[in-house]
Amino acid sequence: MMNRMLIVNMKNYTEASKSQAVRMAQAAGRASKRYGVAVAIAPPMGMLSEMAGLHDTVFAQHLDNVGIGSTTGYAIPEIMKSMGVTGALINHSEHRIPEQDIVALVDRLRKLGMTSVVCVKDIEETKRYARLNPDYIAIEPPELVGSGRAVSKERPELVMSAVEVVRKAGGATRLLCGAGIQSADDVTRAMELGSDGVLAASRIIMAEDPCAKIEEFAAAMSAKGRK
């Protein structure tokens, strides 16, 4: 697993059309190789299988803690892995789930060899879930999600505190900045604060050239971060 991670959450924006998603998957692969940064894409759920055939780091936007079998409509970790999905966002601010499900899903993904990204809203949740030793924790204050105001600039003290909490937990977990990341400067600032990457969405998806924006963010990340 590369130390630094850029996750592109496509959500369910209309701009994340099939053709655009294909181009973004290809751009993610190029940027990852060029800059030595892991670039994951999280496409709309119906595109997961196809995107997994184009890019080697594809995450589900959400998972459900239910079993294989008679569980119509749920996103099942084991099924996702069979489709080529390599990881997942857990507890995103737009799709929060109960604590017992977070605990169970981190464990299931670990056993499946998949990457877990637990999203948290504050330091209290950072402390609680860092103990689970997920691969990543993404700090994303809900009020900044989709706001156009980057957490790395609006709440730098929150990022630094979260970095310290994760470090003190003593596991292999790394911290990502989510919420409002707009520019390469926001990415650079996140890395200077001790983050190992960013979780970005609308600024990339709705950009005039999303592929160029992926390159921009990955390039900003490549010279920074904890080695």
User: Cα–Cα distance between 42 and 46 in angstroms, integer?
Assistant: 11
Q: Are 103 and 132 in contact (CB under 8 A)?
A: yes
Active site residue 215: no
| Catalytic-role residue among 55, 62, 92, 215 | 92
Check the CA dihedral 96-101-107-109 and report its sign: negative
Q: In terms of C-beta distances under 8 Å and separation of at least 24 residues, what long-range contacts does 33-38 make, across chains too?
A: 34/215, 34/218, 35/218, 35/219, 35/221, 35/222, 36/2, 36/4, 36/222, 37/2, 37/4, 37/5, 37/6, 37/197, 37/218, 37/221, 37/222, 38/1, 38/2, 38/4, 38/5, 38/6, 38/197
CA 114, 2, 9: angle at the middle one, nearest 5?
60
Catalytic residue, from 125, 140, 215, 216: name it: 140
Active-site residue, 92 included = yes
Catalytic residue annotation: 92, 140
